[in-house]
Chain A
Amino acid sequence: MLDLKALHSVRNVEDAVRLFSETEGRGLYVAGGTVVVSVGSPNVDFLIDLSKAGLDYIKRWESQGESRSDGVAVGATVTAADLARSDEVAAVDGGLLREAVNRLGSHTIRNRATVGGNIASWAYPADLPPALLALDALLVLRGVNGERSVTVRDFYSRRSEVHSKGDLIVEVRIPPIAAGARAAFEKIGRLNQDIAIASAAVVVACDGHTVREARIALGAVATVPFRALEAEAFLAGRECTGESLAEAARIAVSGVKPRRDHRASSEYRGRMAGVAVERALLRAVDSATHSNQ
């Protein structure tokens, strides 16, 4: 039972954004409610329910990248379970999001947790953002001044510049990974079913045993998920050996000051980030190099 003054169920994003602007800072969007309803929100009087706003679609999206091949657009209220069920998504992302979803919460939570909520929520270190970062995904945001698209990377690293209060996540656009590239997601928790202590998502493309491109994203380690650009640069053009991957993992976490809380000390979390990166790389590279042969 939430202590609320009103709950608005909206049929479209325009209404949602407008109603939000009228709540004078005492409003919040709600989608699946796994965070808003279960954790509660003490300073909120109004909820704007997005579950009927028509954002539960998964459709083709023509990406503007050099390949101009088809990507996929995922509406913000698509549930984690439906995201994982989608073969359209898996065809584009190498199964990365499916892997991430399968480690997100429990079966019942996945049936409620939405993609938009997972990106927007700050209550828990979320599992989808590192995967979306590694996929170079884009977000379509809508505010009172209309719609725009930002990269997931900017959404997290330059949040104050690209995001304003009341912005609604409309959809996530996922460009396809390169042909032959392989993806992997690793999450480290205290038990299988747990909030991440650290997580890593990687997308690796190889030419033979040489890395053509590697994208490495880390979740749960810092206050926001981030891309390990130096580690990516280190790997590019390098032969994939146990040593080079371990070194990349080391670089990925160097200079990071990991968060500490009751789930993990800063030191342990930092180390686990390294482990997650290394294991994700090992797995991705293993399947990438096998597929080349």
Chain B
Amino acid sequence: MTVRFTINGKEVTTVVDVGEVLLDTLRRLGYKGVKSGCRTGNCGSCTVLLDGKPVPSCTVLAAQADGHAVTTIEGLGDDHKPDPIQETFLRHGAEQCAYCMQGMILSTRALLDENPHPTDIEIREGISGNLCRCTAYVKAIEAIRELAGRGNENPDPWKRKECDEERYSTVGACVEKTEGIGLLSGRAKYVDDFQFDNLLYGRVLRSPHAHARIVRIDASKALALPGVHCVLTHDDVPQVPFTTAGQNYPEPSPYDKVILDEKVRFVGDRVAAVAAETPLLAKRACDLIDVEYEILPAVLDMEQAMSEGAPRIHEKEDPRGIADTSRNLAAHLDMDIGDVAKGFEEADRVFETEYYSQYVHCAPTEPHVTATSLDEKGRLVIVTSTQVPFHVRRIVAHANEIPVSQVRVIKPRIGGGFGVKQEIMLEDICSALTLRTRLPVKIMLDRDEELFATRTRHPQKLRVKTGVRNDGSIVARELDVLTNTGAYGGHALTVPSNTGSKTLPLYRTEHIRFVNHSVYTNLPVGGAYRGYGAVQGYFAIDSQMDEIAHEMGFDPVDFRLRNVIRQGEEDPVARQLGEGKEGFERIIRTNGLAECWEKVKAVCDWDAWQALLKPGETGRLGSKSWTRRGKGMSFAMHGTGIPGDDMGAATIKSNEDGSFNLLIGATDLGTGSDTILGQMAAEVLGVSSDRILVYSSDTDRTPFDVGAYASSTTYVSGGAVVKAAEKVRDRLFYHASKLLGEDASGLTCSDNRIAAPSGKSVSMGDVAMEAMYGEEKEQVAYTSSNITFACPPPFAAACVDLEVDVGTGRVEVLEFVCAVDLGYAINPTFAEGQIHGGILQGLGQALSEEMIFDGKGRMVNANLTDYKIYSAVDAPEIRAILVETDEPTGPFGAKSVSEIPVDVVAPAVANAIFAATGLRLRELPFTPERVLAGLDSLAGGRASPGSGSGV
């Protein structure tokens, strides 16, 4: 049918399908700033203004827009004349991946048009339809306040906007994203925005059963459908085992997966794959594939997985890397330092408690999406939303039995990752479809598939046993973990390994024992998720630290500080627990934890609050008669890259005008790493950051990098950038010395010039010109790689202020304060953004997020209505504090910042709930229903609180 409407003021007449939604029409017409994130009205990535009002265009039928005026982000401004909102957002660093931002900016436009001076609550309401998974809305709200003419009424005094000018000129400054306004005007290209001729849409048919064998599969009806080009089943693809975990080779994860198998192991597992001319056809084709299953008994409980007689989930003989298929044991870890048995004997008190951490999902706003095609030479080109392009190239080549040389992987802008895009989720099968059809194929996961069929944080049961002396020292600690890796074992060894290695060194302990069993179940598959095992570990350990302090009458802060690992000490665990193998010596060269706590304490009025509490009093009355208020704290340390494993490389080449191409394998997920690495190059080369042209993550054009994980990019890839830049600089000094007639050894560079001690100087452009067109004529270019063994840990301290509603059990976070010792902040704005986003994800883990399954292993809340992510009206005030300790091994003193914020949240929240109510919760998440049940059992015989007022 034909519809007529205006788009950004232009009259448009177009033919649409009857069931087409406005989102698809707009994208088809080239308005690619309208993004698809859920198609259920929840996420707001698809927001457009309809007659001036923001609406989710995925819920509007194209035909309904007939006669109306539509405004998309493209209608708001462009490079030359951006909308003030875009400029202000960019200046504040409101965006990370920016996938949500096109929508949020439009909502902001509508808000300010209707109400030019909104209050904070009105701002939050105004953007409540735009879920952001990267940030915590903090900087967007700051930006909107400024637009509303309020400036920043409450600036954080510790904020550093400029770099340490005595030492640096670019690193340490709040430089705007290199992608610039393009990122906020809808023109930055994400995978779904690439255009292909004769594109086919891929779709995966997924198992409705938790555990079954495919007895027969008949695709003839699907293939008979006009427009369906290909159906692949397990008979059509190589049966080469691999792991979907995008880790360094050889991956420390079992090879327990093939592209398509004759067995399915969880609800959502792949059965077949289809390529068809439209998404709707692909869906219909999947419905027409006739599959006969032999349903097998399923293991839906991790406690039962290893029991006698439990069904075996992986049966193939001797698959590489599975610990014991006969017991569904994917991986096993066992580590002893000293003798815990002796330690427990020496202890005055021994505490033993058990904790549980649930199934949660990274839920990036952009779901997994991959487009594959063959280039003019017949090579496979994979454009994909990934954190690990180089691992994708290797693993896809291996799984499809083609040479690595025949594969090119490109990561364009991507809409968040957080770990789940460290997995090969679509690239292998999308490639198989292209290799078969010889046509371009794109697969974008539906939001429900994203949630139940990709990767999750590994659920764990953690038993912690700790022996403490009366003087407050810790003699012995045993951490015994049961990890649920689900149907496949990606990261089944390394995630739990980090549960121990990241947490156990924080508090000095004489005797340590760490045990882990990672078991297979017929449930969704564990993988990497920001925090990587440490989140679960800290929930257990730092909750228990509070419990011990309470039981033994210690001040919880003093008890922790007394035991914290000190500068100069060796981390005893690092040597024993490496990445699936023996580790390396790790000396703590910088530790700013005490300073972190000092700052947090000041901001959250910790001492004053404690002084208010009478001895033995748990919490205080909150803002209503039925709320109790309490504050809780926690500490954490994390890692920076994987020692001896992570390698990043950088190439820098000079151009004749004094600009430089920086080519890096590193993968910017929205974190700003392209900008940060550019800042580092600019610093070394003495040029302004706009002279560095960053191009990243293309396996044909950039050098290798392991990818974005393990908080490694700034430290590891940054080290490579510095090395390459130094070589380029030195070579340019050589050319400059000819122009200046001075000795190269004394030259320095700054402000886009090279200068001699005599005061003579020459512009970088002239030097580059000389190098390229002078007598010697050379392309000045170097590639360097960097690997590290030090992996210095960042440290963090946190305090949360919250209220518990004793009538409903709901926990309302009022404020979360977190300080991170990150070594040095190359870009303070981005570093704060990492903290904000990490805290909000942590709050989801602590309070609201949980994948829920029915008795058959089906996820029942696979949508963003019921998988509860914080919106702007739910997110609390979050304050990020950067503590700088100048790590000697890091580039410009930097360590890392991106994962550690998640670690501190769950224990701080648990400790605050205890402080508020006396209720100790050991099972995540603390949903209202769980909290209320806890309060009930606490009340025990006592009359339960009145339903409404609770008093």
Contacts and interface: CB of A to CB of B under 8 A. Distances in A.
Interface of A: 1-7, 9, 30, 32-34, 37-39, 47, 49, 51-52, 81, 102, 105-109, 111-112, 124, 188, 190-195, 242, 245-246, 249-250, 262-265, 268, 271-272, 274-275, 277-279, 282
Nearest to A79: B53
The 10 closest A-B pairs by CB, nearest first: A278-B948, A108-B129, A2-B19, A106-B129, A4-B19, A274-B947, A38-B40, A38-B41, A106-B128, A7-B18
Nearest to B48: A108
A33 B874 contact: no
B115 to A, nearest CB: 12
Contact of B874 (A37, A192, A282): A192
Nearest to A186: B948
A181 to B, nearest CB: 21
B29 to A, nearest CB: 16
B280 A37 contact: no
15 contacts: A1-B24, A7-B63, A9-B63, A33-B64, A34-B56, A52-B67, A106-B44, A107-B54, A108-B47, A109-B41, A191-B874, A193-B874, A245-B948, A265-B929, A279-B948
Which of A1, A3, A195, A245 has its CB near the most chain B CB atoms (within 10 A)? Answer: A1
Interface stretch (B586-594, B772-780, B864-872): B864-872
B128 A107 contact: yes
Contact of A188 (B47, B280, B808): B808
Contacts of A3: 19, 280, 283-284
B239 interface: no
Contacts of A193: 128, 871, 873-874
B923 interface: no
A37 to B, nearest CB: 5
Interface string B910-951: 000000000000000001110010000000000000111100
B860 A37 contact: no
B763 interface: no
Which of B67, B280, B807, B808 has its CB near the most chain A CB atoms (within 10 A)? Answer: B808
A124 B40 CA distance: 13
B927 A190 contact: yes
Contact of B129 (A9, A52, A109, A275): A109
Contacts of A191: 848, 868, 870-871, 874
Contacts of A265: 929
Contacts of B107: 107-108
Interface in B1-54: 1, 17-21, 24, 39-41, 44, 47, 50, 53-54
Contacts of A108: 41, 44, 47, 54-56, 107, 128-130
Nearest to A37: B59
Contacts of B321: none
Which of B39, B41, B44 has its CB near the most chain A CB atoms (within 10 A)? Answer: B41
A111 B54 contact: yes
B630 interface: no
Which of B64, B129, B284, B848 has its CB near the most chain A CB atoms (within 10 A)? Answer: B64
Contact of A39 (B24, B40, B44, B861): B40
A33 B947 contact: no
Nearest to B279: A1
B39 A38 contact: yes
Contact of B948 (A1, A109, A246): A246
A4 B64 CA distance: 15
Given A38-B39, A274-B947, A195 B852 contact: no
B19 A195 contact: no
A30 B22 CA distance: 15
B60 interface: yes
B121 to A, nearest CB: 11
A246 B946 contact: yes
Contacts of A249: 947-948
Interface in B46-95: 47, 50, 53-56, 58-61, 63-64, 66-67
Contact of B18 (A6, A105, A272): A6
B681 interface: no
Contacts of A271: 932, 947
Contacts of A246: 946-949
A202 to B, nearest CB: 12
Contacts of B932: 268, 271
A192 B873 contact: yes
Contacts of A105: 41, 129
Which of A33, A52, A106 has its CB near the most chain B CB atoms (within 10 A)? Answer: A106
B39 A262 contact: no
B868 A4 contact: no
B125 interface: yes
B718 interface: no
Which of A108, A188, A194, A275 has its CB near the most chain B CB atoms (within 10 A)? Answer: A108
B949 to A, nearest CB: 6
B417 to A, nearest CB: 24
A33 B60 contact: yes
A214 to B, nearest CB: 15
Which of B54, B55, B874 has its CB near the most chain A CB atoms (within 10 A)? Answer: B55
Given A49-B61, A264-B929, A275 B808 contact: yes
Contacts of A188: 808, 810, 928
Given A3-B283, A124-B865, A264-B929, 11 more contacts: A7-B63, A34-B41, A34-B56, A108-B41, A111-B50, A111-B53, A112-B41, A265-B929, A268-B929, A274-B948, A282-B948
Contacts of B129: 105-109
Given A246-B946, A278-B947, A112 B852 contact: no
B126 interface: yes
Contacts of A275: 807-808, 947-948
B948 A5 contact: no
Contacts of A194: 868
B18 A242 contact: no
A268 B39 CA distance: 31
Contacts of B24: 1
B873 A47 contact: no
A37 B58 contact: yes
B128 A7 contact: no
Contact of A242 (B21, B61, B808, B949): B949
B812 to A, nearest CB: 9
Nearest to B106: A108
A111 B55 contact: yes
B904 interface: no
Contacts of B283: 3
B127 interface: yes
